């Protein structure tokens, strides 16, 4: 790291020690209607920020400030919102602070960058995925809204398809980057044969591990492919509590549409699973050759590669997910709850933000919620339950949904933040029952 470019006014530790924003203090008010969402008894929510932009991933700094990556609302399903709120259309980074402790941000600063997704903080530096690169920028929490110079840490990531990237640091400071696939099942059209081996796997559909000691690194040459066969690992986090990497992945689409002789529309609605993973070095989750069927409780061979819906075949040696969730819910963010403010049942469990389905017909569309997955010793210890719901309103459909959860972060005081990318609303969820 260049010490000149990242020199700050004092150390970050000193800044945090002397700076406790009001958002960390107890007593933040909640909205009478919890900001339009439903929560379990004893929880409440404030609308921390409104019309923030096409909010993607978020994090909360040690002093309680919130940082978010923003997509380009003018080029997405949020175009109608961009017309109403022009300032919300620009991509970049957003820095928010609640100075009076009322549960709502009252200071905001933006930094213009290409569209962003993953974001993580290490010491005094924000690392964020932006376009084909992972960038970094120095910050000083004692000087709100003052951004440092931007450096390119890694570049050369493929664009198009599932171009969004997730980020996570391990305990030693190595950076994991999740890279999604370009296609549904490794073929560019319905008429071409599926290539075997799939050429995408060399640069996409997996998780890579990088050092951040140097800048201007190239993907994939300068990294280590940590795990492969993950179609779209958009949610990712390192758990200090469990000492490991966790991720979620979007399952494939089109089983009935592409293979009606093998799959009914009802089967297509529930399959394949959306996956929750504990990711170890060398894991192979099987995409595109395999998918997980939660009804069978197994990985089975994809029809493009000779499967018929039940054949295990070459999938017998692939890594199984911890949990398979209903098809097409769209897991966009993951947070392990390592705080102490929530009741004991939530401590050590996982929260997952599901963006919502578009292709479950003839069954109802689902998702558009935040679920809680109990864990014990880093493994599932019970069935998942819907924790926060009501985001979409009356219409569970992408363009007409009122809100769609897409970002999660646990604050130092134990509050859970949820971000939406339709209208840019961010909720702060807290426990209020004595």
Q: Tell me the CA distances in angstroms from 362 to 264, 303, 307, 366, one per residue in order.
A: 10, 22, 24, 12
At residue 423 the predicted structure's pLDDT band, cuts being 50, 70 and 90, is confident
- Please report the pLDDT score of residue 73 as a whole number: 60
Residue 10 has pLDDT above 70, yes or no: no
The 10s digit of each residue's pLDDT in 23-79 is: 444 457 899 999 999 999 999 999 999 977 889 999 999 999 999 999 876 555 555
d(CA 364, CA 124): 45
Share of the chain above pLDDT 90, in %: 83
Residue 389 has pLDDT above 60, yes or no: yes
The 10s digit of each residue's pLDDT in 304-332 is: 999 999 999 999 999 999 999 999 999 99
- Please report the pLDDT score of residue 387 as a whole number: 98
Q: Is the dihedral of CA 111, 114, 116, 119 positive or negative?
A: negative
- Please report the pLDDT score of residue 303 as a whole number: 97
What does residue 321 show for φ and ψ, rounded to 5 degrees? -70, 160
Residue 3 has pLDDT above 80, yes or no: no
- Please report the pLDDT score of residue 125 as a whole number: 98
Q: What is the domain partition of the chain in residue ranges?
A: 12-431
Q: Which position has the token pair 């919102």?
A: 81
Q: Is the peptide bond before 195 cis (omega within 30 degrees of 0)?
A: no
In sequence order, the 6+-apart residues with CB closer than 8 A to the CB of 189 are none
Look at residue 79 and give its three-state secondary structure. helix
CATH architecture, domain 12-431? 6 Propeller (2.120)
């Amino acid at each position: 790291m260049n010490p000149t470019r990242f020199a700050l006014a004092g150390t970050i530790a000193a800044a945090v020690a002397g700076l406790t924003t009001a958002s960390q203090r107890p007593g933040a008010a909640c909205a009478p209607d919890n900001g339009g969402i439903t929560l379990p008894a004893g929880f409440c929510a404030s609308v921390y920020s409104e019309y923030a932009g096409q909010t993607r991933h978020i994090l909360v700094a040690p002093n309680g400030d919130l940082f978010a990556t923003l997509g380009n609302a003018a080029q997405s399903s949020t175009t109608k919102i961009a017309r109403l709120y022009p300032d919300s259309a620009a991509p970049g980074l957003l820095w928010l602070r609640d100075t009076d402790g009322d549960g709502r941000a009252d200071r905001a600063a933006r930094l213009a960058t290409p569209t962003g997704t993953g974001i993580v903080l290490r010491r005094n530096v924000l690392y964020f995925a932006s376009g084909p690169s992972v960038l970094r920028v120095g910050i000083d929490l004692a000087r709100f809204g003052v951004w440092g110079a931007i450096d390119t840490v890694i570049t050369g990531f493929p664009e198009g398809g599932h171009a969004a990237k997730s980020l996570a640091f391990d305990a030693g400071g190595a950076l994991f980057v999740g890279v999604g696939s370009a296609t549904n099942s490794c073929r560019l059209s319905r008429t071409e044969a599926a290539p075997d081996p799939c050429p995408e796997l060399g640069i996409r559909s997996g998780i890579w591990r990088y050092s951040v000691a140097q800048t201007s690194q190239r993907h994939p040459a300068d990294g280590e492919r940590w795990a492969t066969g993950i179609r779209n690992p958009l949610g990712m986090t390192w758990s200090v509590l469990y000492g490991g990497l966790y991720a979620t992945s979007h399952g494939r689409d089109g089983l009935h549409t592409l293979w009606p002789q093998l799959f009914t529309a009802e089967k297509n609605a529930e399959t394949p699973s959306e996956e929750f993973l504990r990711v170890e070095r060398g894991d192979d989750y099987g995409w595109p050759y395999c998918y997980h069927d939660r009804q069978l409780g197994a990985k089975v061979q994809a029809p493009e590669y000779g499967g018929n819906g039940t054949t295990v075949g070459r999938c017998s040696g692939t890594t199984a997910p911890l949990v398979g969730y209903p098809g097409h819910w769209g897991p966009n963010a993951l947070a392990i709850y390592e705080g102490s403010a929530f009741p004991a049942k939530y401590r050590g469990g996982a929260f997952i933000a599901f963006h919502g389905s578009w292709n479950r017909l003839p069954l109802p569309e689902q998702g558009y919620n935040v679920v809680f997955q109990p864990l014990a010793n880093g493994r599932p210890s019970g069935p998942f339950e819907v924790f926060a719901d009501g985001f979409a309103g009356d219409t569970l459909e992408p363009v007409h949904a009122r809100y769609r959860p897409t970002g999660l972060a646990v604050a130092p005081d134990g509050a859970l933040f949820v971000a939406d990318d339709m209208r840019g609303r961010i909720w702060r969820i807290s426990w209020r029952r004595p």
